[in-house]
Every structure is written in C-alpha cells, then in structure tokens.
C-alpha cells in the first residue's frame, strides 16, 4: 500500500483500469446497444464442439465413451474436456449427466413413467439409483417422486 502512488502513477495501468471499469459498467447496465454488444462479446463455438454435443444428445441413453466422442469429432479427449469447459462452462461428463437428468424429468412430467421412476432412470443410463436421486434433487430441488406426484395433479 505504501507504493500505491508508484503503481497507479503508471499511465498504462490507470488507462487499463479505466477501460475495464467503463466496459464493465456498459455491459452490466441495460442500454440501447446491449443486444449488439452481447452479440459481439460471444465467443464463436468451434464446430467440433457442436458436433460433440449432438453426439452426446443422440447417444445419451447409451453408454457414452468420451474418447469415442473425441475421435468422432476429430479431437483428443483432453481437448474435448478443456474446450467444453472453456465454451460451455462445464465438462462433457457434467453436461451429459444434466442432459440425462433433464430427459428423465421431462418423462416424469409427461407421465411417461407409469409410476416406475427406476425404469425411466435406468433407460437414461442411471445405474446407481441412490446417486441418481441425489443428483436429481440437487438439480431440481425435489426428489423424483415429488415430480411424478406434481405431474399427476396437473
């Protein structure tokens, strides 16, 4: 702190801080250019990641091997993991689990389970039912049986 004057005395540092603050304020407050700025700030997702997501969706109810997904889209498993995290904020494993959980929830809400939650969960690749139930509750803030109960009321 004693050297604060030296630190902020550099023009390049104060200019960078000023730009960052202005950019933060402009992006955080709604304005006439918000939608245009949002479009410009989006990082274009590589095509192979979109293909990987499509493959995960198509084979979500099967045993998904991420090495095979990587090979199918032309990248290593490590690149797939790193770039999935970079562009989507989660790993492919977490993405697959969420996709499956959402598919189970949709089936439960549509009444397609006939009361057999276990069968639906296993159909979507959940073999450990205790872990399935806790993951489901963590994501949707209710146990699967409550979802079924609610769907029957509607």
Domain ranges of the chain: 4-41, 45-154
The per-residue pLDDT of the chain, averaged, comes to 85
CA triple 59-61-64, angle to 5 deg: 55
pLDDT per position as a tens digit, 60-91 = 988 889 899 999 999 999 999 999 999 889 99
Q: In terms of pLDDT, which residue wins out, 26 or 126?
A: 126
d(CA 16, CA 43): 22
CA dihedral angle for residue 79, residue 81, residue 87, residue 93, rounded to 10 degrees: 160
Q: State the helix-helix crossing angle for 144-153 and 129-140, rounded to 10 degrees.
A: 60
d(CA 61, CA 70): 18
The 10 Å CB-count burial string (b at 16+, else e) for 39-54 is: eeeeeeeeebbeebbe
Provide the 10 A C-beta neighbour count for residue 71.
13
Provide the 10 A C-beta neighbour count for residue 151.
16
Identify the band that residue 1 occupies on the pLDDT scale cut at 50, 70 and 90. Answer: very low
CA dist list (Å): 28 to 24, 25, 32, 128:
6, 5, 13, 42
d(CA 107, CA 141): 17
Q: Write down the pTM of the prediction.
A: 0.69
User: What average pLDDT score do residues 17-23 get?
Assistant: 84
Domain 45-154 fold: Arc Repressor Mutant, subunit A (1.10.10)
Q: State the helix-helix crossing angle for 77-88 and 47-58, rounded to 10 degrees.
A: 100
pLDDT per position as a tens digit, 89-129 = 999 999 999 999 999 999 998 875 666 899 999 999 999 99
């Amino acid at each position: 702190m004693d050297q604060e004057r030296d630190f902020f005395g550099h023009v390049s540092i104060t200019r960078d801080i000023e730009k960052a603050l202005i950019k933060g304020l402009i992006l955080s407050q709604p304005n006439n250019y918000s939608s245009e700025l949002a479009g410009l700030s989006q990082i274009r997702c590589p095509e192979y990641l979109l293909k990987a997501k499509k493959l995960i969706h198509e084979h979500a109810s099967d045993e998904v091997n991420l090495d095979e997904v990587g090979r199918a889209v032309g990248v290593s498993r490590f690149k797939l993991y790193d770039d999935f995290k970079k562009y989507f904020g989660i790993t492919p494993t977490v993405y697959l689990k969420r996709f499956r959980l959402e598919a189970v929830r949709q089936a439960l809400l549509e009444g397609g389970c006939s009361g057999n939650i276990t069968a639906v969960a296993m159909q979507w690749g959940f073999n450990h039912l205790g872990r399935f139930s806790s993951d489901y509750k963590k994501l949707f803030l209710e146990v699967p049986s409550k979802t079924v109960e609610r769907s029957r009321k509607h």
